[in-house]
Structure 1
Amino acid sequence: MNPKAQTSNYVNNMKATSSPSDLDLIRQIAVKDQGALEELYQRYHRHLFRFFMRTTHEQTSGEDLLQEFFINVWEGAARFEGRSSVKTWMFRMAYFMAAGWVRNNKVHFEDVENDSFELLMDQDEPSLESQVFTKWNYSQIQNAIEELSPNHREIVDLSFFYGLTHIEIAHVLACPVGTVKSRLHSALRQLNRILCAKGIKK
């Protein structure tokens, strides 16, 4: 076989077997491809369930929200306009669903955030992120996160456990990027204080 043709066939086979992107899946879901919905579910259901459980602290409510979420994706995929990444679009939808659950269940969370807080950090000092996430192990951090205020817990989750960038979080929470940075810095300071107060050692 011609080496050039052989290379072309190899590339085509690789493309055929590669996983579809999130955008590909949303486009397929928009034309009612159930297989695409199942693939998207497999990619994100654990993260989303954890996100809902952070809000409800109830297994049944978390499962109900997760089911409702993917029904909304099925029904709303055709309206996705691509103004953000699919992941950002999904977490923004999940955020509003969680907020709706809080309102409907009359759960009151004290807002301890200060949106005008300016992020002022000495560039010569180690970042709070490196101090927190290198000093303690994953299990210790997870337990301490449960003691954060809801707003702090939310932004730490979105940033470090779901991997959203500051810009993506700003889209999800509908706030300026500067506010995301200041809230995250405040959350890490609170997390650091909780861990230090417990006297936890690495």
Structure 2
Amino acid sequence: MKSKLFVMSAPSGAGKTTLKDLVIKEFPDMVYSISATTRAPREGEVDGTHYFFKSRDEFKRMIENNELVEWNEVHGNFYGTPKSFVEKMLSEGKRVLFDLDVFGKVNFDKVYPEAIGILILPPSLEILEQRLRNRHTDSDEVISLRLHNARKEIEFAKQNGKYEYKIVNDNLNDAVNQLRKILSK
């Protein structure tokens, strides 16, 4: 029987969104989980497609009403996985690919311990910094924060995470092939 839940975690800029976008379309029975966030939409992002964009008050109500499988504050914004979305997809027989930070993955595993973990890593922190700068979406201050958090996230994942697979995203084609094989299982 094929696995139903896959969780990808990676520091910001490691390439998980690029990998997901290149591979998920090959699996018609798989959907990408949509997270709720208090982060402002980036150019081109659509509510209900990329994220469920919420105010801080709306997000806090979701926490109070136990409507999230997991949630965390990352880079000064809240992110979380709505339970209703996960249960709806599973009831429709869909497989679900999640993008969660390493801390959220620990909480997610308490609810869905059968989830397969995939840790996406940059080849180095220097290359990660180059990628973040090349996106031209964040200030120097935000990039510094993301790099600081990346160090903490990688260390936490190695010590506390449940990741059955690790992909070092050094060569995009190789990383895509590795992810494709994992999602085929």
TM-score by length of 1: 0.28
**Is the radius of gyration larger for structure 1 or structure 2?**
1
Higher relative contact order (CA 8 A, sep 6+): 2
TM-score by length of 2: 0.30
